[in-house]
């Protein structure tokens, strides 16, 4: 049986075989020795998105130190409230922080703990996911929205339906409506400032001409 460590755009953890393009963690360990989850869903405010392969390191998943998580792709991780890791994704993390600085008109590039504190307040309402009402026209590529049918990513003129295995289908991006947004506002600002997330290949294969 797969572990309950696949992250959805809602920030929930599911037990499905698909692992996707990235791994990450939420600041430490919150699983048991029997490799089941505790009542917690994070250990600290440090929610990061990492590469799968770094310096040939090998880990026992859900071992002694932290609870490894897996994401379909980077837009999924961003929607859940994770940011790029400064160790294994240094270039992306610096780009992300510089876009954050630009978007928020800061004098200096923010430190990781500053971004983590801001994101922790934006991604959660109590223990659940915090949603934001926004005009769809204002949303950048890479943003995720919630509809009755599930989670959908915005990419170009397309609306891509998310699944653990990939983007299942594409429809034309609607216009002139207000939607429930999953991606935290601070990350929306980073995306709007030009940060380009890494998409799963199915994001380019699921369309019917809308991309």
Distance CA 83, CA 92 (A): 9
CB atoms near residue 88 (< 10 Å):
20
Model pLDDT, residue 188: 98
Q: Is the dihedral of CA 78, 80, 83, 87 positive or negative?
A: negative
Calculate the alpha carbon distances from 192 to 39, 186, 187, 203 in Å. 35, 10, 8, 19
Q: Give phi and psi for 76, each to the nearest 5.
A: -65, -45
Long-range contacts of 127-131 (CB under 8 A, 24+ apart): 127/41, 129/10, 129/11, 129/12, 129/182, 130/184, 131/180, 131/181, 131/182
Per-residue pLDDT of the chain (211 residues; tens, 9 = 90+): 899 999 999 999 999 988 799 999 999 999 999 999 999 999 999 999 999 986 766 777 888 889 999 999 999 999 999 999 999 999 999 999 999 999 999 999 999 999 999 999 999 888 789 999 999 999 999 999 999 889 999 999 999 999 999 998 899 999 999 999 999 999 999 999 999 999 999 998 755 444 4
Q: Per-residue pLDDT tens for 157-206?
A: 999 999 999 998 899 999 999 999 999 999 999 999 999 999 999 998 75
Distance CA 192, CA 176 (A): 19
Query: Can you list the alpha helix ranges (DSSP code H) found in the chain?
Result: 74-80, 90-104, 112-123, 185-192, 202-205
Quickly tell me which residue has 């409230």 as its tokens.
81
Distance CA 108, CA 100 (A): 10
Model pLDDT, residue 58: 73
Calculate the alpha carbon distances from 39 to 30, 32, 36, 150 in Å. 8, 10, 10, 24
DSSP three-state, residue 116: helix
**Token pair of 134 as six digits:** 């926004």
Model pLDDT, residue 206: 57
């Amino acid at each position: 049986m797969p572990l309950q460590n696949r992250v959805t755009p809602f920030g929930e953890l599911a037990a499905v075989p698909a692992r996707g393009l990235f791994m990450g963690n939420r600041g430490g360990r919150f699983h048991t020795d029997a490799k089941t989850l505790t009542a917690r869903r994070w250990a600290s405010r440090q929610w990061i998105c990492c590469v799968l392969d770094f310096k040939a390191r090998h880990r026992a998943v859900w071992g002694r130190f932290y609870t490894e998580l897996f994401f379909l792709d980077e837009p999924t991780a961003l929607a859940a409230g994770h940011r790029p890791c400064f160790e294994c994704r240094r270039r992306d993390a610096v780009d992300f922080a510089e876009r954050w600085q630009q978007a928020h008109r800061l004098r200096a590039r923010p430190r990781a703990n500053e971004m983590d504190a801001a994101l922790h307040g934006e991604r959660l309402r109590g223990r659940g996911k915090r949603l934001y009402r926004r005009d769809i026209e204002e949303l950048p590529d890479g943003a995720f929205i919630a509809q009755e049918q599930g989670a959908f990513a915005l990419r170009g003129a397309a609306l891509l339906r998310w699944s653990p295995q990939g983007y299942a289908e594409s429809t034309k991006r609607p216009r002139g409506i207000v939607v429930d947004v999953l991606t935290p506002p601070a990350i929306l600002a980073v995306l709007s400032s030009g940060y380009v997330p890494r998409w799963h290949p199915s994001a380019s294969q699921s369309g019917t001409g809308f991309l």
